[in-house]
């Protein structure tokens, strides 16, 4: 089994790169895990209090659970991954079953900031995309997929997303084995990555 970690700023194209790996190598060979599924459940807080949480800090994730799940997959055991509801900042009662496969891809903004997670990855990737492009992609995504207003998205970006990116995400690039400029549009880099994974699996 080979485990690949894909990091990068919000809207950088991490999911596009991860999905390109799945498309190239096949769904029967690749299991895809999003770090976003491991946001801490905030059901103990009121909805107003949840709105004040810094979701762009490394502590917003239950990385211990993600590490445990990766260890179980390495040992040939299936795992039940949480389903996170971004509109309420809580986990649903349902889970998603992920079975062990020869290639596990984990993507998320903070996957390279955590030492325990980094140790789980055989290949560490950072998707590096211009900040202007990233913020525009985030605005579109949060409005369409997460029921957000444009004012709330811009406010969050200015107050937490950009400061946390500068403090944690961007510095984690130094841990990457491979840096992919321009995200999902860099077909040459993606082809090189999938070729490396194919030969390593």
The pLDDT value recorded for residue 149 is: 80
Which domains does the chain possess?
2-200 (3.40.50.300)
pTM of the predicted structure, to 2 decimals:
0.87
pLDDT digits (tens, 9 = 90+) for 32-63: 999 999 999 988 888 888 878 888 899 999 99
The pLDDT value recorded for residue 2 is: 95
Round to whole Å and give the CA distance between 150 and 65.
Answer: 32
Q: What is the mean pLDDT of residues 11-15?
A: 84
Q: Which 3 state secondary structure label does DSSP give 160?
A: helix
Sign of the four-CA dihedral 56, 6, 13, 66: negative
- State yes or no: pLDDT of 131 exceeds 80: no
- State yes or no: pLDDT of 89 exceeds 80: yes
Which string of b and e fits 4-33 if b means at least 16 CB within 10 Å?
bbbbbbbbbbbbbbbbbbbebbeeeebbbb
- State yes or no: pLDDT of 174 exceeds 90: yes
Q: Which residue has the higher pLDDT, 189 or 160?
A: 189
Q: Which residue has the higher pLDDT, 118 or 131?
A: 118
């Amino acid at each position: 089994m080979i485990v690949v970690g894909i990091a990068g700023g919000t809207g950088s194209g991490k999911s596009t790169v991860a999905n390109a790996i799945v498309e190239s190598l096949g769904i029967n060979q690749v299991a895809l895990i999003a770090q976003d599924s491991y946001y801490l459940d905030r059901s103990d807080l009121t909805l107003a209090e949840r709105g004040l949480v810094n979701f762009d800090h490394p502590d917003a994730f239950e990385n211990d659970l993600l590490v445990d799940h990766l260890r179980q997959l390495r040992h040939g055991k299936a795992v039940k991954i949480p389903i996170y509801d971004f509109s309420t900042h809580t986990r649903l009662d349902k889970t998603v079953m992920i079975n062990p496969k020869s290639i596990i891809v984990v993507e998320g903004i903070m996957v390279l900031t955590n030492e325990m997670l980094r140790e789980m990855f055989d290949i560490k990737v950072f998707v590096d995309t211009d900040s202007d492009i990233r913020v525009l992609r985030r605005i579109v995504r949060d409005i369409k997929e997460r029921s957000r207003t444009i004012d709330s998205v811009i406010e969050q970006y200015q107050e937490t997303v950009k400061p946390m990116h500068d403090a944690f995400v961007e510095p984690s690039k130094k841990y990457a084995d491979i840096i992919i400029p321009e995200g999902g549009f860099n077909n040459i880099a993606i082809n090189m990555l999938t070729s490396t994974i194919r030969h390593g699996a």
